[in-house]
Chain A
């Protein structure tokens, strides 16, 4: 046993109505995920305290802190496995898991806080670590090393195993205290760039800088400039070469992650189909920013676009709203739990860092995973998709729930190509008062030279070094573990509470998040506003001593904000921080010197002209080339009887992409803040899926906002233009279903692409870039047509994994998120059918559009590739769709619509089934009028085609006449009535084409993704 380490163990009491639920959950998950039958799993929570404590003191902390006397048994400096009251039988195996040194241990931080409550006067250097042990009975023949791998992530955790022999002699695993050793300080050095091109590339690659040759040469050039050299001599810096601090700072600021170089590139675009050969000067400026700026000219509610951490729109005369979505793909691949958790708490900070500070009020989560039942080859170094899903979900759940921010909307998409890198999109909506009590408009930052720069919140450690540059590289076997972090929602929550109070008191002049690139980005970016900043890295509070200056500058340690405060508010700001038990430290000041001057104590370690830092990165020149891919057609069975059509529907509805996500969604708090009007699930049994969230953020007020999303990566297989158009249309359609005010909608574009830069590693780069060009063009076309400005967005361009010599690239994916006004939430519409006998209408035209449909992929899998996905992919007619949306919105406001549900994945038949779930009854449908509307259309197309612009609605029979009058100009067909019994019947005139039982469909729909336990 290590000296001065006190060990405490706690286990739940079992029996008499008490259970070890933690153990039971592990047991049930091993059963669900691996079909493993274990008699019993028990759990033990372990704590280690590195402090001399008397038995009296130990008894006190065990009784008053670590153990709940009613439900737990605890002990100190003994193994609780030897306590016969707790464990009457000898287990077959014990696996103990603890954190590696330096990994965020939230339970330990909480324990330390609780320890200080009980012993406020004890040594401040107390450290606590935690572990968890799983105790197995009736294990059977299981490889313990394999089992241990399922229970821990070796990147961040250590596991020890006691097998049956060890257990027989009571030789229990004993985790060592994960002492974080101080690092030996490395003083700043300089890097000679007067070297060959090969060596420049080597410097970039070895240092994980992710800079290309041209960029390295641009840096090389800068240090040859005579004026630069003169100034550097004056400051005592090496005159002709960068310091490591400077080179790292430039690498962060110029990273793909921060600079979006591909979206800013000059692209020569060739289209083999049309013969187009043109040049595009920045996708972002051309297709995203310009349309939004043009729309900003037309309206007065677009308050802030593109330059802040999120876009801001006016919501009411008193309040504005902002929204941002980010991805956290690479970290989530390495550690699903920590990666996803830092994703959600990270985007919350983008909201807190908007204007003078906004309050997060809603989260959205969209995930793309490999299939949860994947049984194909898995390259070494990858987790099984089901484990990635559980981990990501748990991380986002913890991050969102603990922060008190409801998760109101999202989606989960499955495709085998997400096995290499999952996509983890986390979005947040924030609210901010239009004006602060001191009169300032809160969406405008007001820094002045002389303002003090505070770092607020967490401390800086070696965790999270190189996150930004790492995410700009593909995932490989050598991906650094330092890029993995675990969020700490409570530290962040305290900081959010404190900073919002500081905002309202008028203490904040400027605020931004420390995310990618750490202080180098946050201060570097804000320095642009005043024209300079001084930073002293020796002032920055550290988690571990010995970090070198460059590491402090670029570390992405979580839960930190950078805040500019006027000297006159210094004392009040610090007192507020103290009250909230939040660390706030002055690390520098804003200047107008024109440079970002970085010191470490008395030594100057970096001097970077602001202009050079932000605009010095050379523009990329890229090539793209489009020719449409060729796919095999879908093979349909000519004669499919109605019952078999029903079976097809049942198989389709059970596919992970369509199946109910209720088990996963319900473990997010979607109602905290007390504003949830349209919830993720509705209907008589609370299990019918909603289309979009409606929230009413001001208690008692019926003014609302709508949050929705659209994502259809499948369509990229045929055409990324169709994919992007469908994504935007889906988001809008979802919002229309709940009654959004179409005159005030705003969007976010989040692109996740495979590397689209032609190279030896990416021989199809030109094609992937052409897909990106096409997706951007669709984005512009549809957004302009719908008057839907993108107010913020993000791109992640290296979603490839090369492992085991195998490259897996994600399908080109655009997530489009939407936020829009709702004038009166008491008029919001939900997706569930309301009354037997209500008339069912389909709004919008149905075409024979089954290319890349969910049905096509199902047939492809079922036929082992004989059937293809080829065919017409849904195309967009924005003018037609928009008039339909507007007419329907009007009918909703007139109170004529009982329910509205989006037709998307799986087509009309799926939409009908889902609306039926909401009333727990079937429907009688006749699609003959639809079939008659288009010669090309057959039963497959009408039932399962995914044509855009369609919404399924139900109307009370008393209102059908008026409803039809209002929809006169719009394509609409009355296709059936809501039934009474369990039967769904779809007819073509007199003949049945599909029959199914709603109960059976629901069981299939709910069965696939039931998380168990």
Chain B
């Protein structure tokens, strides 16, 4: 048996193919599944070990990024998703997928998995959509199963609405204490570790996200979302400056995240393939 990953598709999800590919490269078996097949029960989410909500422009992001897809999942998959997390199965949302998980209230989330929205991702302060490479730094002590052992990573951001905010600033401290503020934008010219709450200038932080937050996890560390695209750096030849580097070609920096989840699932569910 292999680790089985459910990759959601449909309604403007765009990054489903590469997201499926990176889990396969990490040794799992990916299936691209139309959201409606889960909602109508044709496919049972519980048959999978990992769920991924890939990037894209679900419903064109017309009423705010991820909002309509978030509602589809919140209304259509509520119990299935809750059970998934309670069964200790990991979920990742990347870019639009992160926006979906935040708008449906699964991230940063709460202990009861109440699907109450407490944060949001709003328009970049720059005022426009942008595709550019950033450097990320990961929380050392986080219990997030996706980011184990990670220090820094270079990946692209590709969004217009990536500024992480909340209307209750006290929550930020709580999430920080819980180790939920897993990943932040940092200045690549600063020595590791350099993560900070001080707002970094554009374009080091591409969106003026509060506390330079690029991604967060839920209290269990199973549900993880981030604006940048680790799946877009799956191979060394996809880096922003790879032609300037002396490289041994192979899997790219972004792959660690997917290996982490697949390894977690293997050990958690005793899967040896």
Give the interface of A toward B (CB within 8 A): 12-13, 17-19, 21-22, 24-25, 28, 64-66, 68-72, 106-107, 109-111, 113-114, 117-118, 397, 401-404, 489-490, 493-494, 497, 579-581, 666-679, 682-684, 686, 696, 699-700, 702, 825-826, 828-830, 832, 834, 1011, 1013
Q: A17-B165, A489-B60, A699-B25 are in contact. Are A117 and B244 (CB under 8 A)?
A: no
| Given A18-B165, A106-B60, A497-B10, 12 extra CB contacts under 8 A | A17-B210, A18-B122, A22-B123, A68-B67, A71-B165, A117-B72, A490-B11, A579-B34, A669-B131, A672-B158, A677-B238, A834-B243
The reply to whether the CB of B240 lies closer than 8 angstroms to some CB of chain A is: yes
Q: Can you list 14 A-B pairs with a CB-CB distance of less than 8 A?
A: A22-B123, A66-B63, A70-B117, A70-B165, A72-B64, A114-B63, A117-B76, A580-B10, A672-B15, A673-B17, A674-B18, A674-B22, A700-B234, A828-B237
Q: Is the interface of B mostly helix, strand, loop or mixed?
A: mixed
Residues in A neighbouring B17, C-beta threshold 8 A: 673
Per the 8 Å Cβ criterion, residues 14-40 of B in contact with A are 14-15, 17-18, 21-22, 24-25, 34, 36-37
Is B75's CB under 8 angstroms from A118's CB? yes
Is B12's CB under 8 angstroms from A402's CB? yes
Give Cα A563–Cα B117 distance, bound, in whole angstroms.
43
The reply to whether the CB of B166 lies closer than 8 angstroms to some CB of chain A is: yes
Cβ of A738 to closest chain B Cβ, rounded Å: 10
Is B128's CB under 8 angstroms from A25's CB? yes
Return the chain A residue nearest B247 by Cβ. A826
Give Cα A106–Cα B72 distance, bound, in whole angstroms.
18
Residues in B neighbouring A834, C-beta threshold 8 A: 243-244
Give Cα A402–Cα B75 distance, bound, in whole angstroms.
24
Q: A70-B118, A117-B68, A699-B21 are in contact. Are A825 and B237 (CB under 8 A)?
A: yes
Residue of A69, A676, A684, A826 touching B167 (CB-CB under 8 A): A69
The reply to whether the CB of B79 lies closer than 8 angstroms to some CB of chain A is: no
Interface string of B153-168 (1 = CB under 8 A from A): 0001010000001110
Is A696's CB under 8 angstroms from B235's CB? yes
The reply to whether the CB of B71 lies closer than 8 angstroms to some CB of chain A is: yes
Interface string of B236-260 (1 = CB under 8 A from A): 1110110110000100000000000
Return the chain A residue nearest B244 by Cβ. A834
Is B63's CB under 8 angstroms from A111's CB? yes
Return the chain B residue nearest A492 by Cβ. B12
Is B63's CB under 8 angstroms from A700's CB? no
Give Cα A65–Cα B62 distance, bound, in whole angstroms.
11
Give Cα A21–Cα B64 distance, bound, in whole angstroms.
13
Residues in A neighbouring B184, C-beta threshold 8 A: none
Cβ of B228 to closest chain A Cβ, rounded Å: 11
Is B68's CB under 8 angstroms from A110's CB? yes
Give Cα A677–Cα B118 distance, bound, in whole angstroms.
38
Cβ of B244 to closest chain A Cβ, rounded Å: 6
Residue of B15, B56, B166, B237 touching A702 (CB-CB under 8 A): B237
Give Cα A494–Cα B21 distance, bound, in whole angstroms.
21
Give Cα A696–Cα B243 distance, bound, in whole angstroms.
15
Is A684's CB under 8 angstroms from B241's CB? yes
Give Cα A117–Cα B77 distance, bound, in whole angstroms.
12
Give Cα A266–Cα B22 distance, bound, in whole angstroms.
56
Give Cα A828–Cα B231 distance, bound, in whole angstroms.
21
Residue of B71, B166, B241 touching A682 (CB-CB under 8 A): B241
Cβ of B241 to closest chain A Cβ, rounded Å: 7
Cβ of A196 to closest chain B Cβ, rounded Å: 53
The reply to whether the CB of B229 lies closer than 8 angstroms to some CB of chain A is: yes
The reply to whether the CB of B175 lies closer than 8 angstroms to some CB of chain A is: no
Cβ of B232 to closest chain A Cβ, rounded Å: 5
Give Cα A670–Cα B34 distance, bound, in whole angstroms.
25
Residue of A21, A107, A828 touching B243 (CB-CB under 8 A): A828
Residue of A402, A668, A669 touching B60 (CB-CB under 8 A): A402
Residues in B neighbouring A1011, C-beta threshold 8 A: 128
Q: A671-B156, A673-B18 are in contact. Are A114 and B59 (CB under 8 A)?
A: yes
Interface string of B101-113 (1 = CB under 8 A from A): 0010000000000
Is A674's CB under 8 angstroms from B15's CB? yes
Residues in A neighbouring B237, C-beta threshold 8 A: 677, 696, 702, 825-826, 828
Residue of B11, B59, B232 touching A674 (CB-CB under 8 A): B232
Residue of B62, B122, B167, B235 touching A699 (CB-CB under 8 A): B235
Is A667's CB under 8 angstroms from B131's CB? yes
Residue of B15, B127, B236 touching A1013 (CB-CB under 8 A): B127
Q: A497-B9, A666-B132 are in contact. Are A70 and B126 (CB under 8 A)?
A: no
Is A114's CB under 8 angstroms from B68's CB? yes
Is B103's CB under 8 angstroms from A68's CB? yes
Most chain B C-beta atoms within 10 Å of own C-beta, residue among A19, A21, A673, A830: A21
Is B67's CB under 8 angstroms from A114's CB? yes
Return the chain A residue nearest B21 by Cβ. A699
Most chain A C-beta atoms within 10 Å of own C-beta, residue among B57, B117, B118, B167: B57
Residues in A neighbouring B235, C-beta threshold 8 A: 696, 699-700
Is B240's CB under 8 angstroms from A113's CB? no
Residues in B neighbouring A700, C-beta threshold 8 A: 21, 25, 234-235
Give Cα A4–Cα B30 distance, bound, in whole angstroms.
48
Per the 8 Å Cβ criterion, residues 53-94 of B in contact with A are 55-57, 59-64, 67-68, 71-72, 75-76
Give Cα A673–Cα B231 distance, bound, in whole angstroms.
9
Residues in B neighbouring A118, C-beta threshold 8 A: 71, 75
Is B21's CB under 8 angstroms from A666's CB? no
Most chain B C-beta atoms within 10 Å of own C-beta, residue among A19, A110, A113, A834: A110
Is A494's CB under 8 angstroms from B131's CB? no
Q: A68-B120, A113-B59, A699-B21 are in contact. Are A674 and B71 (CB under 8 A)?
A: no
Residues in B neighbouring A25, C-beta threshold 8 A: 127-128
Return the chain B residue nearest A685 by Cβ. B241
Return the chain A residue nearest B133 by Cβ. A686
The reply to whether the CB of B265 lies closer than 8 angstroms to some CB of chain A is: no
Residues in B neighbouring A117, C-beta threshold 8 A: 68, 71-72, 75-76
Interface string of B164-189 (1 = CB under 8 A from A): 01110000000000000000000000
Residues in A neighbouring B64, C-beta threshold 8 A: 68, 72
Give Cα A109–Cα B210 distance, bound, in whole angstroms.
32
Return the chain A residue nearest B120 by Cβ. A70
The reply to whether the CB of B212 lies closer than 8 angstroms to some CB of chain A is: no
Most chain B C-beta atoms within 10 Å of own C-beta, residue among A113, A671, A1011: A671
Is B240's CB under 8 angstroms from A686's CB? yes
Give Cα A70–Cα B122 distance, bound, in whole angstroms.
9
Is B67's CB under 8 angstroms from A829's CB? no
